[in-house]
Amino acid sequence: MAGRVDIVEVGPRDGLQNEKGAIDTPSKLRLIEQLTQAGLRRIEATAFVSPKWVPQMADHDAVMRGIPKRPDVFYSALVPNEKGAQAAIQAGAQALAVFASASETFARRNTNCTIAESIQRFVPVLALADAAGLPVRGYVSCATDCPYEGEIAPDAVLTIARLLRQIGCNEIAVADTLGRGTPARVRAMLQTVLSDVPAHSIACHFHDTGGVALENVDVALDLGVRIFDSAAGGLGGCPYAPGAAGNLRTGLLVQHLTGRGFDLGLDLDRLAVAEDFARQLQTSANAIYR
């Protein structure tokens, strides 16, 4: 299979946000630089969220300002609202991401508001991004399962995807937040979403809890999706999703896609260095916390 596949490296944000031990800013910047040197061109660097709720992202401003910007690399930031978007743009973010949920209960637990209220919070974010000429990704969490509601209906995912597109998100990332999605259920969800959202606007974010993330990648590839999230070293897990394990490991995804005939243009030796360092950060953070 030939053609282009884009990998969105989420390790510095989604990969590190759940670590309880402190990770210093220079180490985060070093990881981002290593990932850049490996050839990754879309890196989710940090999240402009309240340190009260996500302490690991408290240095978001220093991280975003500390990245040596390159014209061919997009360093993005997750933002929860207008205030976060303003700060991210001022700090030099080259793309923004907002996060909604296909589960009403998860939305209330994760963002302390309803799904409808969360969408309304994003309207000024999209306005700011448009004025700054920045692309915005919209996450749909719990796209297959919710830790509180169980299985999520595909129509619920489509509903949120439509709302995010209506307010201006140019990319929709459907996230198997718990990693429980089976290939059959992922296919059903994606087919439903793709009935109204073009494949080039869809990204898939798989956690590997059940060990079938690569099978789910294949399902998405077969349906025309060409954007996938992964995290160096398989770091990650959602702090508000009990049972969520690590993200799909970047090196594993790269190996799989290369085997399917995609030329990703990455330096595998440098990627291995970045993954080793990511795992060292996790080990260090866990040791400090204990």
Residue among 142, 146, 204, 238 flagged as catalytic: 238
**Catalytic annotation present for 146:** no
Pairing of strands 171-176, 145-146: unpaired
Q: What are phi and psi of 8, to 5 degrees?
A: -105, 110
Dig out the tokens for 212 from the structure.
């079938």
Nearest-10 crossing angle of helices 154-166, 115-132: 40
Q: What are phi and psi of 7, to 5 degrees?
A: -105, 130
Pairing of strands 145-146, 150-151: antiparallel
Q: Which of 197, 169, 18 is nearest to 95 (CA)?
A: 169
The region that residue 80 occupies, defined by phi over 0 for left and psi between -120 and 50 for alpha, beta otherwise, is alpha
Side-chain half-sphere exposure of 261, counting CA atoms within 13 A: 5
Q: Are 208 and 246 in contact (CB under 8 A)?
A: yes
Task: Tell me how far apart the terminal alpha carbons of the chain are, to the nearest angstrom.
Answer: 46
Dig out the tokens for 39 from the structure.
């050839």
Active-site annotation, residues: 238
